[in-house]
Amino acid sequence: MSTVLERSDVTDSAPPSPTLPRWRLPLVFGALLLLTVGLRLPAFTVPVFNSDETFLATQAEVINDGGRLYHDAVDRKPPLVPYLYAAVFAVTGSNDLSGVRVVAMFSVALTALLLVAEGRRRDSARRGWIAGLLFVFASVCFAPQDGQAANFEVFMLPFATAAILLARRERFASSGVAVAVATLAKQTGAVTLLPVLYLAWRFRKRRGVVDAGAGFVMPLALVALLVGPAQLLFWAVLGNGSYLGIGSASAYVLGLFALMSIAFVLCNLPVVAPLIWARKSRIERDETDLWLWLLSGVVAVAVGFRFFGHYYLQLLPPLCLIASGVLVRVSDRVRVGTIAAAGFLAVGFSTIGYFAQPFGGEPQYQEVSRFIESNASQRDRILVWGALPEVYWASNRRPATRFASNSFVTGHWGGRPQGDLSGDLATPNALGLFLADFAAHPPRFVLDTSPASIRDAQYYPISKFPAIQALVDANYHYVQSIDGIAVYERNTNAPVFGETG
The per-residue pLDDT for 102 is 97
The per-residue pLDDT for 411 is 80
Is the per-residue pLDDT at 405 higher than 60? yes
Q: Are 194 and 237 contained in the same domain?
A: yes
Tell me if 309 is assigned to some domain.
Answer: yes
Compute the average pLDDT of residues 182-208.
95
Tell me if 126 is assigned to some domain.
Answer: yes
Q: Are 200 and 79 contained in the same domain?
A: yes
**Residue range 416-467, pLDDT digits in tens:** 656 555 555 678 889 999 999 999 999 999 999 999 999 888 989 999 999 9
Compute the average pLDDT of residues 130-158.
95
Percent above pLDDT 90 for the chain = 71
Nearest CA among 33, 67, 22 for reference residue 401? 67
**In angstroms, rounded to a whole number, what is the distance separating the alpha carbons of residues 179 and 176?**
5
Tell me if 462 is assigned to some domain.
Answer: yes
Q: Are 354 and 370 contained in the same domain?
A: no
Is 494 exposed, middle or buried (CB count within 10 Å of its CB: 0-12, 13-18, 19+)? middle
Is 104 exposed, middle or buried (CB count within 10 Å of its CB: 0-12, 13-18, 19+)? buried
Strand partners, 244: none
The continuous run of DSSP H or E covering 164 comes out as helix 152-168
Q: Are 305 and 422 contained in the same domain?
A: no
**In angstroms, rounded to a whole number, what is the distance separating the alpha carbons of residues 375 and 171?**
57
Q: Are 405 and 267 contained in the same domain?
A: no
3-state helix, strand, coil in the chain (%, to 5): 65, 5, 30
Q: Are 227 and 370 contained in the same domain?
A: no
Angle between helices 288-302 and 152-168 (to 10 degrees): 160
Nearest 10 degrees: CA dihedral of 151, 153, 297, 257? 0
Contact 156, 314 (CB under 8 A): yes
C-alpha distances (whole Å) from 240 to each of 79, 185, 194, 433 are: 15, 16, 22, 17
**Residue range 263-288, pLDDT digits in tens:** 899 999 999 999 888 765 544 567 89
| Least confident residue range of 52-56, 151-155, 352-356, 484-488 | 352-356
Tell me if 1 is assigned to some domain.
Answer: no
Nearest CA among 126, 114, 116, 112 for reference residue 14? 126
pLDDT range class, residue 332, cuts 50, 70, 90: very high
Q: Are 376 and 434 contained in the same domain?
A: yes
Count of all residues that appear for the chain in the document: 501
The per-residue pLDDT for 217 is 97
Tell me if 9 is assigned to some domain.
Answer: no
Compute the average pLDDT of residues 468-482.
95
Tell me if 79 is assigned to some domain.
Answer: yes
Boundary (domain end) residue, out of 312, 338, 358: 358
Tell me if 14 is assigned to some domain.
Answer: no
Q: Are 398 and 348 contained in the same domain?
A: no
Domain that holds residue 282: 19-358
Boundary (domain end) residue, out of 326, 358, 390: 358
The per-residue pLDDT for 31 is 96
Q: Are 274 and 292 contained in the same domain?
A: yes
Q: Are 79 and 151 contained in the same domain?
A: yes
DSSP 11-46: HTTSPPPPPPPGGGHHHHHHHHHHHHHHHTGGGGT-
Q: Are 152 and 197 contained in the same domain?
A: yes
**In angstroms, rounded to a whole number, what is the distance separating the alpha carbons of residues 236 and 240?**
7
C-alpha distances (whole Å) from 434 to each of 225, 329, 426 are: 25, 59, 12
The per-residue pLDDT for 425 is 67
pLDDT range class, residue 342, cuts 50, 70, 90: very high
Q: Are 107 and 39 contained in the same domain?
A: yes
Tell me if 113 is assigned to some domain.
Answer: yes
pTM of the model: 0.90
**In angstroms, rounded to a whole number, what is the distance separating the alpha carbons of residues 350 and 102?**
15
Q: Indicate the number of domains in the chain.
A: 2
Boundary (domain end) residue, out of 340, 358, 376: 358
